[in-house]
């Protein structure tokens, strides 16, 4: 076996962390033959809980797990890491405005960006899950100038998986038959789940569904509001599915996308498809040798253009608010 890949999970004592560390340790992301060293970060009051998680990791007797480091110190957690799942974030509390939530998280991701800059490998691949994920990823990268911007991404894979699952259910086919659903924009209520270019067993999803009103109406709303529906049912937010999506995202980044298919990731916008540049916008990407490329040349109709504008505008507003928080703190 090769030397272990060092993988950091922040918020490791939380709900998503609980499922995620098991999935990483079981080989689902980096391969069943690849040993991993798990670096688990949480805040000081959560150390006893994190200790319990470590006990359970040991009790899972996972062959891939060579080492577990549990800490509340980002400089220890990020030391020489190859991959980071930044899940830990400030949750929205009752009565909290969106701007207050953004401000609290900007501060966390600024500190973590600085710590990544100082301690992680320059080749580290960073996936931000903690919300607001796109803008947190932007801030994190801004404060880690020695790490290439392409090494930061935000998670919209859960939204993509939700979209694929809805299409599969609608057509009564296995979810694995559905390919190339796209999530454009922000991981928020403005995201645009788009199946215009998706296929089911090689045929157009649009033709197979044959119901444009549903595709442009209820389907989009369903995917946009799925997180809320899970909370209403479970009284807790999505955790198992979020952990699975984080693993899917990192596995695609590590192993590449199969010929002819693409995945959605929040990445630095270069202005493709007329989107605002300089925000973390979710695009369809293909991945080869650890590098993602935005899929180019997909036809965008007026309906889609309108949706891209709305979600892009929200991302620009979030970015401006976040940068204002950063400069006020300087």
Q: Would you state the structure tokens that stand for residue 260, as one six-digit string?
A: 């002819």
Asked if residue 319 belongs to a known ligand binding site, the reply is no
Q: How far is the CB of 237 from ligand NAX (least distance, A)?
A: 5
Rounded distance, CA 200 to CA 207, Å?
10
Residues 283-322 that bind ligand NAX (CB under 6 A): none
Q: Tell me: does residue 205 bind ligand NAX (CB under 6 A).
A: no
User: Is residue 88 close enough to count as binding ligand NAX by CB under 6 A?
Assistant: yes
Closest CB to ligand NAX among residues 266, 312:
266
Place of tokens 């899929």: 295
Half-sphere exposure of 115 (CA within 13 A, CB side): 21
Cis peptide before 132 (omega within 30 of 0): yes
Nearer to ligand NAX, 90 or 200 (CB): 90
Size of the site for ligand NAX (CB under 6 A): 28
Which single residue brings its beta carbon nearest to ligand NAX?
A: 14
Is 131 marked as binding a ligand?
yes
Residues 95-154 within binding reach of ligand NAX (CB under 6 A): 108, 129-131, 133
Cα torsion angle, 77, 9, 5, 55, sign? positive
Closest CA to 215 of 235, 184, 192: 192
Residues linked to residue 185 through DSSP beta bridges, in sequence order: 282
Residue from 26, 34, 114, 237 touching ligand NAX (CB under 6 A): that is 237
Among 238, 252, 257, 269, binds ligand NAX (CB under 6 A): 238
Cα Rg, the chain, nearest whole Å = 19
CB-nearer residue toward ligand NAX: 90 or 140: 90
Closest distance of CB 5 from ligand NAX, Å: 21
Applying CB under 6 A, the span of 30-38, 238-246, 290-298, 313-321 interacting with ligand NAX comes to 238-246
Site for ligand NAX in 19-48 (CB under 6 A): 41-43, 46
Q: Does 189 bind ligand NAX (CB under 6 A)?
A: no
Q: Is 159 part of any known ligand binding site?
A: no
Selection from 241, 250, 267, 259 nearest residue 175 by Cα: 241
Contacting residue, 5, 8, 13, 178, with ligand NAX by CB under 6 A: 13
98 is in an annotated binding site: yes
Q: Dig out the tokens for 229 from the structure.
A: 């529906």
Q: Any idea which residues carry the catalytic annotation?
A: 187
8 interacts with ligand NAX by CB under 6 A: no
d(CA 20, CA 29) in angstroms, rounded, equals 10
3-class DSSP assignment, residue 302:
helix
Identify which range of 9-17, 51-59, 207-215, 311-319 contacts ligand NAX by CB under 6 A.
9-17
* Bridge-based pairing state of the strands 36-41 and 65-71: parallel
Is 92 one of the annotated binding-site residues?
yes
DSSP state letters, 42-94: --GGGHHHHHHHHHHHHHHT-TTEEEEEEES-HHHHTTT-SEEEE---PPPPT
Query: Please, what is the Cα angle at 302 between 299 and 308, to 5 degrees?
Result: 80
Provide the H-helix boundaries in the chain: 15-25, 47-60, 74-77, 98-119, 133-142, 157-171, 205-209, 212-216, 218-224, 226-234, 240-255, 302-329
Asked if residue 42 belongs to a known ligand binding site, the reply is yes
Determine if 187 is a binding residue for ligand NAX (CB under 6 A): yes
Residue 6 or 208: the one with the smaller Cβ distance to ligand NAX is 6
Closest to ligand NAX by CB, 71 vs 257, is 71
Comparison of 11 and 312: residue with beta carbon closer to ligand NAX? 11
Annotated binding site for NAD(+): 11-17, 42, 105, 129-131
Q: Which residues bind ligand NAX (CB under 6 A)?
A: 10-11, 13-17, 41-43, 46, 87-91, 108, 129-131, 133, 155, 158, 187, 237-239, 242
């Amino acid at each position: 076996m090769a030397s272990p890949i060092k993988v950091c999970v922040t918020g490791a004592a939380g709900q998503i962390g609980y499922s995620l560390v098991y999935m990483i340790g079981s080989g689902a992301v980096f391969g069943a033959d690849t040993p991993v060293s798990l670096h688990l970060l949480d805040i000081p009051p959560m150390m006893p809980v994190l200790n319990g998680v470590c006990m359970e990791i040991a009790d899972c007797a996972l062959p891939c797990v060579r080492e577990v480091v549990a800490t509340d110190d980002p400089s220890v957690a990020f030391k020489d890491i190859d991959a980071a799942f930044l899940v830990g974030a400030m949750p929205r509390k009752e009565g909290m405005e969106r701007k207050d939530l953004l401000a609290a998280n900007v501060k966390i991701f600024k500190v973590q960006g600085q710590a990544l800059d100082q301690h992680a490998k320059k080749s580290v691949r960073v996936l931000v899950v903690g919300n607001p994920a796109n803008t947190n990823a932007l801030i994190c990268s801004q404060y880690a100038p020695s790490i290439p911007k392409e090494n930061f991404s935000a998670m919209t894979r859960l939204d993509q998986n939700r979209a694929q699952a809805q299409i599969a259910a609608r057509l009564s086919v296995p979810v694995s038959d559905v390919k190339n659903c796209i999530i454009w924009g922000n991981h928020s209520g403005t995201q645009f789940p788009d199946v215009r270019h998706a296929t089911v067993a090689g045929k157009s999803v649009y033709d197979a569904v044959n119901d444009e009103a549903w595709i442009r109406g209820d389907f989009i709303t369903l995917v946009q509001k799925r997180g809320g529906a899970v909370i209403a049912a479970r009284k807790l937010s999505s955790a198992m599915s979020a952990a699975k999506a984080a693993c899917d995202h990192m596995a695609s980044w590590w192993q590449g996308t199969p010929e002819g298919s693409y995945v959605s990731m929040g990445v630095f916008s270069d202005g493709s498809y007329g989107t605002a540049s300089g925000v973390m916008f979710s695009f369809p990407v293909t991945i080869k040798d650890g590098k993602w490329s935005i899929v180019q040349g997909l036809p965008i109709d007026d309906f889609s253009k309108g949706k891209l504008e709305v979600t892009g505008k929200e991302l620009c507003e979030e970015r401006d608010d976040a940068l204002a928080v950063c400069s006020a703190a300087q």
